[in-house]
Amino acid sequence: MSASEPRPGDHTRAVHGPGLVHTGAMSAPIVRSATFSYDTLGDMMREQEKGPGGAYYQRLGHPTLRATEERLAQLEGAEQALLFPSGMAAISAAFLSQLAAGDHVVALHQSYGGTRELLKWGAERLGWRFDVVDGATPETWAAAFRAETKLFHVESPTNPTLCVVDLRRAAALAHERGASLSVDNTFASPLGQHPLALGADLVCYSATKSIGGHSDLLAGVVAGSAATMRRVWRVRTVFGGTPDPETAWLIERSLKTLALRVERQNANALALARRLAAHPAVVRAYYPGLETHPGHALARAQMQRGFGPVLAFELKGGDAGLEPFVEGLRVFRHAPSLGSVESLAALPVHTSHIHLKPVERTSAGIPAGLVRLSIGIEDEVDLWADLEQALARVAVPT
């Protein structure tokens, strides 16, 4: 493609990958080889020098992984991307690439549960320190920064009540204080939001969610500039968190339909959020696409293609309604995770916020009777009929 040709659109790039080079095969070959041999020492050294782009030894880099990493990088607008065997492997590699003993991290109190565990574990075992801030009150963030702050880690929208975090403002603050901004972009997907374009230094994903999209693989991604990713690659090589070629191939296959899935999920989620907000058994629905959501204007400005697959709502019957509701679902499946083609329901009280006492939940902004839904690609009428009949099983206090 010459420089004068227009850059292909997201759908085209998702299907064809970065180069639009025609080799005959429609999909990258799964190279089932952990090590690679060369006729000359010079050839071998040239492959070694390519790092994650070379074919020398799988833990360092592998051609099937690379094909998917290049596809992910171009979707994200990043110079480089690296695959990991899980989202937490990716996020922990991002942290380890930025932090040493004595360094300080600022993160959201709304952070994903696994990330909160990582923050605590690193403070106990690796000698970094951290403070948490509320994603909804950006004016309070600066007070948490110290001279040793090296990393500001955020998500947007957050789990489970979909707080929308101002990524431009987060990047400006981090850079003013000499820190890097990393963004967990799992909820929005690489087609729903581009944190690097808004100023982030690193973007992380659980590819288990929308990127994989079929509830059949566990993987993670980190993307950023070549210089930043060199440090992340070093962590992956040292700790050994390199996935297998089949997982990379499954992700390549999934990326080809990512745009269609995201658009459909987001359209279904908006329609259902509107219907839930108006239902007599529901106190409130949480979805950035609703005009009543406090983050709506910001979400419109920093998200594309809608507002993500996840929404939450509060049952009027409180926690007593949770069991009859989830057990009454027939199309939605009661399971953790999000971003898959199947619609899923999860109860934060029994999943992400299981360790909190009722008073702690209230102070963490998790109301009683909260249900989280991840909306799939099924017919909206079937999803709504399912929610309506399950809601009919929940007693509404008069």
Ligand X SMILES: *Cc1c(COP(=O)(O)O)cnc(C)c1O
Minimum CB distance to ligand X smaller for 80 or for 208: 208
Q: Which helix (H) or strand (E) holds 151?
A: strand 149-155
Residue of 70, 103, 155, 386 that binds ligand X (CB under 6 A): 155
- The piece of 59-67, 129-137, 203-211, 280-288 that touches ligand X (CB under 6 A) is 203-211
Q: How far is the CB of 131 from ligand X (least distance, A)?
A: 20
- Ranked by CB distance to ligand X, the top (closest) residue is 87
Nearer to ligand X, 76 or 184 (CB): 184
Task: State how far the Cα of 141 lies from the Cα of 107, in Å rounded to an integer.
Answer: 9
Q: Is residue 157 part of the contact set for ligand X (CB under 6 A)?
A: no
- Whether 8 and 20 have beta carbons less than 8 Å apart is answered as yes
Q: Which stretch binds ligand X (CB under 6 A): 97-105, 164-172, 206-214, 371-379?
A: 206-214
Strand partners, 224: 80, 202
Q: Looking only at residues 165 through 194 of this chain, which bind ligand X when binding is defined by CB under 6 A?
A: 184, 186-187
Site string for ligand X, 88-127 (x = CB under 6 A): x-----------------------x-x-------------
Q: How far is the CB of 320 from ligand X (least distance, A)?
A: 27
DSSP H helices, the chain, are 10-16, 41-49, 63-76, 87-98, 113-125, 167-176, 226-239, 245-255, 258-277, 296-302, 322-328, 358-363, 380-391
| Cα angle 8, 11, 14; round to 5 | 90
Contacting residue, 62, 209, 236, 264, with ligand X by CB under 6 A:
209
Nearest to ligand X of 70, 155 (CB atom): 155
Among residues 132, 218, 364, 396, the one that binds ligand X under rule CB under 6 A: 218
- How many residues of this chain interact with ligand X, rule: CB under 6 A? 14
Site string for ligand X, 129-148 (x = CB under 6 A): --------------------
Q: Does 84 bind ligand X (CB under 6 A)?
A: no
Tokens of 266: 């987001």
CA distance 300 to 320: 35
Return the number of the residue (117 or 379) whose C-beta is nearest ligand X: 117
Closest approach, Cβ 249 to ligand X, in A, equals 18
DSSP three-state, residue 319: helix
Nearest distance from C-beta of residue 262 to ligand X, angstroms: 15
User: What residues are labeled active site?
Assistant: 59, 112, 184, 209
Residue 161 touching ligand X (CB under 6 A): no
Chain length of the chain:
398
Is residue 131 within a helix (H) or strand (E), and if so which, with residue range? strand 129-133
Which of residues 94 and 282 has its CB atom nearest to ligand X in the complex?
A: 94
- Name residue, tokens 């970065």: 18
Say how far residue 164 (Cα) sits from the centre of its chain. 14
- From the list 30-38, 132-140, 204-212, 357-365, the region that binds ligand X by CB under 6 A is 204-212
Identify the residue among 74, 161, 180, 208 touching ligand X (CB under 6 A): 208
Q: Give the DSSP H or E segment for 180.
A: strand 180-184
Dihedral angle sign, alpha carbons of residues 231, 232, 238, 244 = negative
Among 17, 63, 87, 369, binds ligand X (CB under 6 A): 87
**How far, in Å, CA of 173 to CA of 135, rounded?**
13
Query: Interface residues for ligand X in 29-48 (CB under 6 A)?
Result: none
Q: In the complex, what is the shortest distance from the CB of residue 162 to ligand X, in angstroms, rounded to a whole number?
A: 12
> Among 206, 247, 254, 343, which residue interacts with ligand X (rule: CB under 6 A)?
206
Cα(232)–Cα(69) distance, integer angstroms: 13
Question: How far is it between the farthest Cα atoms of the chain?
Answer: 81
- Report the distance separating Cα 100 and Cα 93, nearest Å: 12
Q: Is residue 335 involved in binding ligand X (CB under 6 A)?
A: no
- How far is the C-alpha of 240 from the C-alpha of 242, rounded, in Å? 6
Q: In the range 252-311, which residues lie near ligand X by CB under 6 A?
A: none
**Residue ranges that bind ligand X, judged by CB under 6 A:** 86-88, 112, 114, 155, 184, 186-187, 206, 208-209, 218, 220
